[in-house]
Chain A
Amino acid sequence: MLEKGINYMVTAYDKREYDKKGCRMKQKMRKSVSTIGRIMAITLACVIFFSISLLPKATSCIGRLLYLGITDAQDQKIMAEVLCTMIGESTGTKVNVVKFKTLDECREEIRKGQLDLYIDYVCSGLISVLNVNGEKGQQSGPVTIENAAKAYSTVKHLSDKRFSLIWLKPVGYDNPSILTAPPAWLNGIPNSAVCVARRETLNRFPVLPRLINKLGDKIPNGAIEDLAKKKDLKVAVKAFLEERKLIRWAIQ
């Protein structure tokens, strides 16, 4: 290809020269320019191919990164900011936020090990976990859920057992709107928001469950509503965490 290009240039040059003078001298020049071009092409090819042969193996950059899945819901965006700020400032670990259209997509990705964390809700999560085994259809409900604590302990137990996903402490607010038609067996149970993490991730970052659990009951409905009104969410979340002594500047 390279040689072809150079040949083309040489030919074009030669043609112009022939048109002008048509002398024998130019024939010699053509030959020498053509030879130079070929030498250049070959040299360049040598450089390229020897460079290829000496290239090191591609290495992936494995860093201290966590992947947090969220949906487009307002509370999820707020929680993403809360977790990114808290984890980043307290542990120096960067959190990458990955957006999904639905919570089911988040659940699917974390079960496949593509995410480290996501935000779920106790009742929605319980229904989702039970759906996996087709237990939803049971009229009387799969388990007896008397109260919110029972709903939480049930979803925590089942998620860990089935998917090695750990439900950390509920952060305080609930999201009833996400459950459009709650089943009768979950009537009256708050749909508390919880950060859910892969067991493997928590094992490798032992400080993570300790840190996230500090958010337990610290973000009530009112706080989510207030934060949602703020223009600069990043600044508002940082101030919110500082006021509650959940973060302080870290040495970087």
Chain B
Amino acid sequence: MLKKGAVILIVLTWCAFSSGCRKSNVSSQKPLKICYMICNSLPESKARFEPISAYLSEQLKRPVESIYLNTQDVETVVQKKEVDFTHTNSILYVIFKEKYGASPISGEIRGRYGNKDAGTIIARSKSAIKTLQDLKGKSMIFGPSLAPMGFLAQYDLMLKNGINPDEDLSFYNIPGGSWKHEKVIYGVLFGAYDAGAAPRIDLDQMAAEGKINMDDFTIVAESEPVAYCTFAAMSHVDPALAQKVREILLNVTQEDTTLVGGEVLKILKSAGLARFIGVKDSDYDPIRQMLKRCKMSPYEEY
């Protein structure tokens, strides 16, 4: 009897494992791996980018695997060639280009500056801070230190105007956890800090959503708009495949949909984009100049 039982169990085990295998055999091709830098939070990023992966999978007729990582962890998988494409901010793109030979695939139109954005330094409108010079001796809150519009642009703007944030501010902080840009804006609004470094796009978005009233803020300074979110292909990716992905993205329209978790979703609407746009490496030169002036990677000096 035991023998019979054992045979049954073996058969069941085989069935169980083969069912798992069948699942992956449906798409036997090696999955294309896209690493998305987590923006505000993991759920927010997944909601925005899963439709893009699903659509690319449909169009390419091969599995596409999304990998979501914190900003500072993306370089590890790029370095190890564990991903084929990345969707990151422009600082990471420049690092990947300079250090690992990545190529730009597309930018995305979103917000008042198209595929660019600017970094703002904000204060409460009732505050006495009206110019960059007024920031001396004041407290400030920045976004994450690898954020082009939440740290780099403002840090650079201050240096260019003769203010060294590390010496001239009374102190500055970076908030912990998710939704850092919103925390910066609220930190200023509620008076926890004298000034804050916020991406223009986040200010606009929060105002549009009714979360803040722009009349409560003074924009003390704003950087030049520079390239922002970027799809990039890693150096090991076949150029023909990179070109195919570029074409698919550039041709996505507001009406295009895809199936994610049994739900039909509009790709661009889910991602909060107007459309994708072609970009070239020289579009990122202003970011390079900022990184050089601030001595940040890939041009770091210690």
Q: Which residues of A contact B (CB under 8 A)?
A: 3-4, 7, 38, 41-42, 45-46, 49-50, 52-54, 62-64, 88-93, 160, 166, 168, 199, 202-210, 213-214, 245-248, 250-252
Residues of chain B lying within 8 A (CB to CB) of residue A41: 5
Q: Which 4 A-B pairs have the closest CB atoms?
A: A92-B176, A49-B16, A203-B297, A53-B20
| CB-based contact A213/B166 at 8 Å | yes
| CB-based contact B175/A252 at 8 Å | yes
Give Cα distance in the complex from A92 to B72, angstroms. 14
| CB-based contact A62/B69 at 8 Å | yes
Give Cα distance in the complex from A160 to B300, angstroms. 13
Nearest-CB distance from B37 to chain A (Å)?
Answer: 12
Residues of chain A lying within 8 A (CB to CB) of residue B177: 92, 252
Residue B146 at the chain A interface, CB threshold 8 Å: yes
| CB-based contact B12/A49 at 8 Å | yes
Residue B173 at the chain A interface, CB threshold 8 Å: yes
| CB-based contact A92/B174 at 8 Å | yes
| CB-based contact A209/B173 at 8 Å | no
Nearest-CB distance from A86 to chain B (Å)?
Answer: 11
Give Cα distance in the complex from A246 to B170, angstroms. 9
Residue B19 at the chain A interface, CB threshold 8 Å: yes
Residues of chain B lying within 8 A (CB to CB) of residue A166: 302
Give Cα distance in the complex from A50 to B20, angstroms. 8
- What is the size category of the interface that chain B forms with chain A? 35 or more
24 A-B residue pairings within 8 Å (CB atoms): A49-B12, A49-B17, A50-B16, A62-B69, A62-B70, A91-B174, A92-B175, A92-B177, A202-B302, A203-B297, A203-B298, A205-B72, A206-B296, A207-B151, A246-B171, A248-B139, A250-B173, A250-B174, A251-B141, A251-B175, A251-B176, A251-B183, A251-B186, A252-B175
| CB-based contact A45/B9 at 8 Å | yes
Q: Chain A's interface: helix, strand, loop or mixed, by majority?
A: helix
| CB-based contact B2/A7 at 8 Å | yes
Residue B248 at the chain A interface, CB threshold 8 Å: no
Among B20, B73, B145, B298, the most chain A Cβ lie within 10 Å of the Cβ of B145
Interface residues of B in 199-254 (CB under 8 A from A): none
Which residue from chain A places its CB closest to the CB of B176 in the assembled complex? A92
Residue B13 at the chain A interface, CB threshold 8 Å: yes
Nearest-CB distance from B42 to chain A (Å)?
Answer: 11
Give Cα distance in the complex from A90 to B208, angstroms. 30
Which residue from chain A places its CB closest to the CB of B296 in the assembled complex? A206
Give Cα distance in the complex from A205 to B145, angstroms. 6
Residues of chain A lying within 8 A (CB to CB) of residue B168: none
Among A90, A214, A251, the most chain B Cβ lie within 10 Å of the Cβ of A251
| CB-based contact B2/A64 at 8 Å | no
Residues of chain A lying within 8 A (CB to CB) of residue B172: 90
Give Cα distance in the complex from A91 to B171, angstroms. 12
Give Cα distance in the complex from A101 to B228, angstroms. 46
| CB-based contact B166/A245 at 8 Å | no
Given contact pairs A203-B300, A206-B145, A251 touches B170 in the complex (Cβ within 8 A): no
Residues of chain A lying within 8 A (CB to CB) of residue B19: 50, 53
| CB-based contact A204/B75 at 8 Å | yes
Residues of chain A lying within 8 A (CB to CB) of residue B13: 49
Which residue from chain B places its CB closest to the CB of A62 in the assembled complex? B73
| CB-based contact A204/B72 at 8 Å | yes
Give Cα distance in the complex from A3 to B5, angstroms. 7
Give Cα distance in the complex from A26 to B74, angstroms. 67
Residues of chain A lying within 8 A (CB to CB) of residue B297: 203-204, 206
| CB-based contact A245/B300 at 8 Å | no
Residue B187 at the chain A interface, CB threshold 8 Å: yes
| CB-based contact B5/A38 at 8 Å | yes
Residues of chain A lying within 8 A (CB to CB) of residue B1: 7
| CB-based contact A251/B192 at 8 Å | yes
| CB-based contact B192/A206 at 8 Å | no
Give Cα distance in the complex from A41 to B6, angstroms. 11
Which residue from chain A places its CB closest to the CB of B190 in the assembled complex? A251
Give Cα distance in the complex from A213 to B164, angstroms. 14
| CB-based contact B166/A206 at 8 Å | no
Residue B8 at the chain A interface, CB threshold 8 Å: yes
| CB-based contact A46/B12 at 8 Å | yes
Give Cα distance in the complex from A54 to B175, angstroms. 38
Given contact pairs A38-B5, A54-B20, A199-B302, A90 touches B174 in the complex (Cβ within 8 A): yes
20 further A-B pairs in the complex, CB-CB below 8 A; given A53-B20, A54-B20, A205-B72: A7-B2, A53-B16, A64-B70, A168-B302, A199-B302, A202-B302, A203-B297, A203-B298, A203-B300, A204-B146, A206-B145, A207-B174, A208-B145, A210-B166, A250-B173, A251-B173, A251-B176, A251-B186, A251-B192, A252-B176
Residues of chain B lying within 8 A (CB to CB) of residue A50: 16, 19
| CB-based contact B72/A202 at 8 Å | no
Residues of chain B lying within 8 A (CB to CB) of residue A89: 173
Which residue from chain B places its CB closest to the CB of A209 in the assembled complex? B302
